[in-house]
Amino acid sequence: MTDIPITLPSTSVATPSGSDHALLTLTNIESAYGPVKAIRGVSLEVKKGQIVTLLGSNGAGKTTLLKTISGIMDPVRGSIEFANEDITGVESSDIVKKGISHVPEGREVFPLLTVYENLMMGAYTRKDRDGVARDLEQAYRYFPILKERESQAAGLLSGGQQQMLAIARALLADPQMILMDEPSLGLSPKLTKEIFAIIRMINRDSGRSILLVEQNARIALQTADFGYIMENGRIVMQDTCARLMQKDDIQEFYLGIKQEGVRAERRWKKKKTWR
Ligand code: ATP
């Protein structure tokens, strides 16, 4: 079995392929809840048109990282660049205007508003009415059930339909990049497949970049181009998804494929090179 390379920014480590320049670049980000450091020096990038996945066990810091990018939390250290602009510490409403939409964990739709009103909340920063109408039609093409239910209260939708609504609402902001936090949470395997097929379509049709946090590592690695593995607030591995799926530790700890012999701990833990 081959050794797992450890990942910190270094010339020998793979970086996301795709178009030439990174659309989003995080450099040494640290974020904390009061005294609790949740992100401990994360650097990553997402190129234009890419799907990048961020995997990690519970509490690794994935949600916190997405919140830091979307301006819900300010980083304690480090910088975030988006479309060649420093957006570190920018307010979340301005982050949306700059082209980043966040589909939060647990959907967070407005249950008392109708489906249509929820969708329009996604477009609240926009002035281009024709563009909004076009994007609404496109969102309904991806999720026809939302058109059927457009005048119903969002709280009456099933979990899967609420997830569709949360993604469609993000599209109504016409983003260049979508941050998705656990889109499969609470969904059946069949619905998860359907949602991921649409995520791929959204990426292909419009070239929107997607940063995808997901517990279902198999579907995430099959969907994304590039992946980062996070543990205890740090990136411990990064590579193309095709290569990640070949790695013993990923197979064992994320894909549930048993290796011969028993290993009690992840190999990358034995090779810590981070500070
Ligand atoms: P999960 O898959 O369970 O959502 P995660 O990788 O998204 O996990 P985070 O939710 O980002 O992890 O949490 C990272 C760390 O920050 C954890 O140790 C968690 O306990 C802590 N944390 C998260 N939210 C808060 C909060 N509001 N206040 C204090 N600590 C928090």
Give the tens place of pLDDT for each residue, 93-102: 999 999 999 9
Say if 169 falls within a structural domain.
yes
User: Are 94 and 124 contained in the same domain?
Assistant: no
104 inside domain: no
- Residue 116 near residue 124 (C-beta atoms within 8 A): no
Pairing of strands 85-86, 77-82: antiparallel
Q: Are residues 94 and 131 in the same domain?
A: no
**pLDDT value of position 1:** 35
Which of 30, 57, 63, 182 best tests ligand 1's pocket when mutated (most atoms within 8 Å of CB)?
Answer: 63
In a domain, 75, yes or no: yes
Mutate-to-test residue for ligand 1 from 54, 58, 66, 214, highest number of ligand atoms within 8 A of CB: 58
Tally of domains in the chain? 2
Which atom of ligand 1 lies at the shortest distance from residue 60's CA? 6
Pick 256 or 168 by higher pLDDT. Answer: 168
Residue whose CA lies nearest to ligand 1 atom number 3? 58
Q: How confident is the model at residue 219 (pLDDT cuts 50, 70, 90)?
A: very high
255 within a domain of the structure (yes/no): yes
What token pair was written down for 11? 């010339």
Report DSSP state, residue 73. S
Q: C-alpha distances in angstroms, 81 versus 26, 98, 165?
A: 7, 11, 28
Mean pLDDT of the region 76-82 = 97
Which of 174, 197, 220 corresponds to the end of one domain?
Answer: 174
CA-nearest residue for atom 9, ligand 1, is: 61
- For residues 168 and 221, state if they share a domain: no
> Has residue 1 been placed in a domain?
no
The last residue of a domain, from among 131, 158, 174 = 174
Prediction pTM value: 0.87
Per-residue pLDDT at 266: 62
Pick the residue whose CA is nearest to atom 17 on ligand 1: 59
What's the confidence (pLDDT) of residue 267? 64
For residue 6, pLDDT over 50 is answered with no
The conformational region for residue 186 under phi > 0 = left, psi -120 to 50 = alpha, else beta, is left
- Asked which of 119, 154, 174 is the last residue of a domain, the reply is 174
As a whole-number percent, the residues of the chain with pLDDT over 70 amount to 87
For the segment 199-217, the average pLDDT, to the nearest whole number, is 94
Is 10 part of any domain?
A: no
> What's the rounded Cα separation, in Å, for the pair 76 and 96?
21
Which pLDDT score, from 0 to 100, does residue 265 have? 61
Burial 62-97 (b: 16+ CB within 10 A, else e): bbbbbbbbbbebebeebebbbeeeebbebeeeebbe
Mean pLDDT of 39-61: 95
Dihedral sign of CA atoms 200, 64, 240, 257 in order: negative
Q: Answer yes or no: do 144 and 199 share one domain.
A: no
SS (H, E, C) 81-94: EECCEECCCCCHHH
* Beta strand extents in the chain (DSSP E only): 22-33, 36-47, 51-56, 77-82, 85-86, 100-103, 177-181, 209-213, 226-231, 234-240
Q: What confidence score (pLDDT) does residue 161 get?
A: 92
Question: Would residue 275 count as lying in a domain?
Answer: no
Q: What is the pLDDT of residue 253?
A: 83
Q: Which residues line ligand 1 (CB under 6 A)?
A: 33, 36, 38, 56, 58-64
pLDDT confidence of 244, banded at 50, 70, 90?
A: very high
CB 135 within 8 A of CB 188: no
Q: Domain range holding 127?
A: 109-174
CATH code of residue 248: 3.40.50.300
Rounded to whole angstroms, what are the CA distances from 188 to 12, 90, 162, 185, 216?
39, 37, 14, 9, 12
Question: Which pLDDT does position 105 carry in this prediction?
Answer: 86
What mean pLDDT do residues 224-247 have?
Answer: 95
From 31, 42, 53, 62, the mutation candidate for ligand 1 (largest count of ligand atoms within 8 A of CB) is 62
Residues 167 and 181 in one domain: no
- Ligand 1 centroid–CA 202 distance in Å is 28
Residues 113 and 229 in one domain: no
- pLDDT (0 to 100) of residue 263: 57
Look at residue 165 and tell me if it is in a domain. yes
